[in-house]
Amino acid sequence: MHTDEQHLTEQLGATGFRLTPQRQQVYDVLRHKRDHPTAEEVFIRAKHAMPEISMATVYNCLDALVKCGMARQVTVDRGATRYCPNMHEHGHCHCDACGTIFDVDIPHELAGLTLPTGFLARHFDVAVHGLCAACVAKKK
């Protein structure tokens, strides 16, 4: 049987990292509430269960999680980087009014983009900006 903790340990290990209580905690925070928190929000949430954790450690842990493929960085606007434990290929839909971020599937047709000759694509970042239903309603 493959527990979540084992998976995390393996992924970290394969990239030369160890599983530490802090990394486990930061990962739990990401998985618990998938609202694309910033490093600071992760820090605040992680402190509830682990009051001694420091901001530098949160950055270190997030960085390790990204490098080992257990989390992704999301940059929908110029503000703080956000983090997401959904590793499935997907894009982000951002409400410019309230800031909510929704995960969206991206169609395979995207692979049909005409790229510069010889360009080797490794990752697609798709961000849709606009207004969510609630904010459209508010404007009326």
Residues 6+ apart with CB under 8 A from 48: none
User: Smaller CB distance to DNA: residue 79 or 118?
Assistant: 79
* Least spacing, CB of residue 5 vs its own copies, in Å: 29
CA distance 64 to 61: 5
14 binds, among its own copies, DNA, none (CB under 5 to 8 A by kind): none
Residue 10 parent element (H or E): helix 4-14
* Least spacing, CB of residue 48 vs DNA, in Å: 14
Q: What's the Cα-to-Cα distance from 45 to each of 2, 19, 30, 32, 40, rounded to whole Å?
A: 27, 19, 9, 10, 9
- Of 88, 57, 56, 92, the residue nearest 74 (C-alpha): 92
Q: Interaction with its own copies in 2-61: which residues (CB under 8 A)?
A: none
23 binds, among DNA, its own copies, none (CB under 5 to 8 A by kind): DNA
Q: Could you say which of 24, 60, 81, 86 contacts its own copies (CB under 8 A)?
A: 81
**Interacting residues toward its own copies by CB under 8 A:** 73, 75, 77-78, 81, 91, 93, 95-96, 102, 104-107, 109-110, 112-133, 136-137
